[in-house]
Structure 1
């Protein structure tokens, strides 16, 4: 069952999405919100796997809402504006539906979301990525690769995929960064940006809002910097 939340300031749009959700048994609608602030409260209080999110809302837009969340759920943007698609996919959105959209197009978007929403029981069953003690099994280009944690430098969200960068090579996973994050041990990895997770043991230096690991430079957002410093045992004052 996928826990869904509708966020849209237009009552008609909320009603249509609600009716569409009822047609798909795997979807469980946990709530319907008229603005981003109400949505933030619900996300913080209950498990939400997927948000149907409008963009043009008063005070805080849908895109701004996602940027405020430390570990955002999967997102399907539902909007009347085509011009924000690039920004939406840069945030790792599952899909981008331009209103008015058909039920058929909605179902296609849900199928894409299901591929990326990966609770542990679903992962074990389908085995696209599985955590086993000290490694991940990552399905990439039809091959299941065993990737030891101590070989991973960092992970980067890349539109609808995730780059898993190791000491020797790069793997491209079909799962979102947030989905893979659930499989990574907190004692080894830290989220440092909405698009990056790093292996703390591979950090060679820090400079301002940048991390260096191997030959790569990784940005650190202010939202995650404090948590990174705590994980590293560094006094940020």
Structure 2
């Protein structure tokens, strides 16, 4: 069985003990270390391979959100916190899950399952990834109809509450699907998240001006949290 190395970062000793105990129930997890503040975690991450990071948010000196932003190549992150108001920021940083204390073992196992699924996707052989990339469309249900949408026709998508606006070369659709769910359906090598509410088809960008992306006559903002990744995707 594949085992994944875990690091626990939480300033509360009891919280660390609970997570260690929960990890002990899962044979796929190996706890490499458990520490009480971010700077100690930095040293561990620089010297050991960590697959899953259990990270508290409200910590002294450097909080969990700020700590994660400092990592150039982060593990799969599961936030563990008593504060629900940070959830949006956490998912903006591509966290696997957000566990509100006190959380149950069942909820913990679900979060770990999501992290392991992401890790398995990263471990897939190139041949499987290439085979998957041959898919060039998705089916979306909107307004009582099912539409076949070719990736090449999708310009961008925009989060609008429980709906997601899909702007294509032919029409605009407003299916009842969450933004995060749609993002998972679209190939990451073609569609890039550039803002909390926007996902763009990189091949459709006509030009970039400041913090705005132009696709034909449409302007899309680039969020500050996404700018570095966006510029790297452009090769700049």
| TM-score normalised by L of structure 1 | 0.63
Number of the residue aligned with 1:55: 57
Partner residue of 1:9 out of 11, 16, 20 = 11
Change (3 A) 1:233 1:5: closer
Q: Taking CA–CA contacts closer than 8 Å with sequence separation of 6 or more, which of the two structures ends up with the larger relative contact order? A: 1
The answer to whether the aligner puts 1:65 opposite 2:74 as a matched pair is no
For 1:104 and 1:199, how far apart are their aligned partners in 2?
Answer: 37
Change (3 A) 1:51 1:227: closer
Change (3 A) 1:172 1:79: closer
- 1:116–1:176 contact (8 Å) kept in structure 2: no
State the SS of the aligned residue for 1:76: strand
Structure 1 unaligned runs (5+)?
none
Q: Deviation of residue 21 (structure 1)?
A: 0.8
Q: Deviation of residue 25 (structure 1)?
A: 1.5
State the SS of the aligned residue for 2:83: coil
State the SS of the aligned residue for 1:119: helix
- 1:192–1:219 contact (8 Å) kept in structure 2: yes
Q: Deviation of residue 119 (structure 1)?
A: 1.7
Number of the residue aligned with 2:220: 218
Number of the residue aligned with 1:107: 109
Number of the residue aligned with 1:32: 34
- 1:140–1:172 contact (8 Å) kept in structure 2: no
For 1:229 and 1:149, how far apart are their aligned partners in 2?
Answer: 22
- 2:55–2:78 contact (8 Å) kept in structure 1: yes
Number of the residue aligned with 1:208: 210
Count of equivalent residues? 223
Change (3 A) 1:149 1:52: same
Number of the residue aligned with 1:98: 100
Number of the residue aligned with 1:21: 23
State the SS of the aligned residue for 2:103: coil
- 2:138–2:151 contact (8 Å) kept in structure 1: no
- 2:156–2:201 contact (8 Å) kept in structure 1: yes
- 1:140–1:174 contact (8 Å) kept in structure 2: no
For 2:207 and 2:6, how far apart are their aligned partners in 1?
Answer: 40
Superposed CA offset, 1:8-29 (max 9, x none): 1223322321221121012233
Of the structure 1 ranges 188-197 and 20-29, higher mean CA displacement relative to structure 2 is found in 188-197
Superposed CA offset, 1:34-65 (max 9, x none): 32234345446655443211111112211222
Q: Deviation of residue 111 (structure 1)?
A: 3.5
State the SS of the aligned residue for 1:20: helix
Q: Deviation of residue 203 (structure 1)?
A: 0.9
Q: Deviation of residue 138 (structure 1)?
A: 6.1
Structure 2 unaligned runs (5+)?
142-146
For 1:60 and 1:31, how far apart are their aligned partners in 2?
Answer: 19
